[in-house]
Amino acid sequence: MGKDEFNPVKGTCSDWFNIGLTILDSLDTLILMDFRDEYEASRLWAANSLSFYNINDKVSSFELVIRATGGMNTAYQLTSDSLWLNKSVELADMLLESFNLTNSGCPPQDVYLGHDIKGRSKRNFISTVTSPAEAGTFQLEFRTLSQMTGDPKYAVAVDRCMSSLMNAVPTSHLVTPQFDMTDATFHGNRLCIGGSVDSYYEMLVKNWIVWGKSVADNGLRVAFEKSITAIFDTLARTVHDKLIIGEMYEGHPNSFLAQMDHLACFLPGTLAIGALHGLGGGLYGTGENDYMRRARRLTESCFSMTRGLEVGLAGEITSFLPLVPVPKEGQDINFLRPEIVEALYYMDKIDPWAGDKYKAMGRAMWKDIRRVAQIEGKEDGMLATTFNLRGGSKNVFHGGKLHSFVLAETLKYFFLLFDERPRSEGPFALDKWMYNTEAHAVRIAK
């Protein structure tokens, strides 16, 4: 209680930001699953002890926004408890001070919080290089804050950053993992859709939808559609009958790597949301380039990333070169990340031909998680990061922290996947709510 992260193997806790991060990231999961006592204890802790002035080191602006701001915004929308709005404002007001530190209007990757933010940033080196995922993911949370407070300053700041980022996107419509905020340009020529890039693409379409598909946001939709076309034209291949989105250096097709990050599996769900809102051929599109058809094939590929080894867990990076996809050497770790079950959840709710298919995949995954990620000798359900997947379930070992996204996302998506109600009913019904990249949902504006 009050520590950032929990190590379930050692039974110890540690701090990263010193803000009780796991609590903030778990609030809506607690409410969703009706853990009333745990929610009340969390609220009490926040009311008495949560202060963003306690952060006294450089911290990741991206992780703070998606986990803490995202978590508190959703808690406020679910409970109308002003505690969460006030705390979210406290954090965002501090973060706002870092938006003007570079010409781009985007906050640095690492920021100071608390007192004298500008002074401390000037006295200490702050990198001006960030990633499109980090600079391009705040719009949902900050526009939500403007909506909830009636103060436009959060939306104005984040929209300015987003414009710099989008104006810098090369004519290829593909972004590289490095965005230099001094001259607002993308550096390098590595192309991928995984870490550092992923949620930039994801948030384009989500923001277009959540704020009412307004004319002012048309640029987000157009950028999304062009990027999706470019991603499939450049990085998609069929390998042993599986559709994958690999990686390569721009202009060097021979450098293509037939592999996918676990993180890259955010894409099927994002395509399905686009289709639900009429893009890419809509829900019933069956053309080769239609979003639902592509989402279906990618979901199969993502699920196959969990099936290649007897352990039934996907690694951080999966190679599709072998007949059966397997984790790459040195990448056979499973952090209980959400992206594959996230894809199953969206497809189950959105694909008109879903039947029981995605639930069955989810059941198989859940069974293996319970079997292999369960810490030996600990109480039932005590799950942890699992190492040495290639060694087989007899030789895996557990360790490290339980990332807060396991509680915010992975368990939430499993829980909602197994909810039998259609997508227009039940908690976080998809026609009324939109998730941020950490699975914290906000109400879709009219």
- Binding residues (CB under 6 A) for ligand DMJ: these are 66, 199, 263, 337-338, 405, 409, 437-438
- Amino acid identity, position 274: G
Using CA atoms, how far apart are residues 386 and 403, in angstroms rounded to an integer?
12
Please, which residue, 98 or 410, has the CB nearer to ligand DMJ?
Answer: 410
Q: At what angle do helices 70-79 and 21-32 cross, to 10 degrees?
A: 40
Taking CB atoms, the residue at the shortest distance from ligand DMJ is 437
Q: Exactly one of 5, 316, 368, 438 is catalytic; name it.
A: 316
Q: Is 198 an active-site residue? A: yes
Residue showing tokens 């592509």: 294
Smallest gap, in angstroms, from Cβ of residue 106 to ligand DMJ?
Answer: 17
Please, which residue, 101 or 158, has the CB nearer to ligand DMJ?
Answer: 158
Which tokens hold the place of 113? 């919080």
Which tokens hold the place of 357? 């298919």
Please, which residue, 16 or 256, has the CB nearer to ligand DMJ?
Answer: 16
Q: Exactly one of 198, 290, 332, 368 is catalytic; name it.
A: 198
Smallest gap, in angstroms, from Cβ of residue 62 to ligand DMJ?
Answer: 8
Smallest gap, in angstroms, from Cβ of residue 408 to ligand DMJ?
Answer: 8
Neighbours of 85 (CB within 10 A): 18
Q: Is 339 an active-site residue? A: yes
Q: What angle is formed at CA 164 by the lines to CA 163 and CA 170, rounded to 5 degrees?
A: 100
Smallest gap, in angstroms, from Cβ of residue 356 to ligand DMJ?
Answer: 26
Using CA atoms, how far apart are residues 10 and 260, in angstroms rounded to an integer?
31
- Amino acid identity, position 279: L
Residue showing tokens 């894809």: 343
Using CA atoms, how far apart are residues 22 and 15, in angstroms rounded to an integer?
10
- CA dihedral 284→416→269→195, nearest 10 degrees, is -170
Please, which residue, 266 or 281, has the CB nearer to ligand DMJ?
Answer: 266
Smallest gap, in angstroms, from Cβ of residue 63 to ligand DMJ?
Answer: 7
Q: Is 63 an active-site residue? A: yes
Please, which residue, 139 or 437, has the CB nearer to ligand DMJ?
Answer: 437
Residue 238, classed as helix, strand or coil, is strand
Q: Find, among 265, 272, 266, 267, the residue nearest to 291 by Cα.
A: 272
Smallest gap, in angstroms, from Cβ of residue 437 to ligand DMJ?
Answer: 4
The answer to whether residues 73 and 88 touch, using CB atoms and an 8 Å cutoff, is yes
Q: Exactly one of 5, 217, 339, 409 is catalytic; name it.
A: 339
Please, which residue, 101 or 133, has the CB nearer to ligand DMJ?
Answer: 133
Q: Is 290 an active-site residue? A: no
Question: Known catalytic residues?
Answer: 63, 198, 316, 339
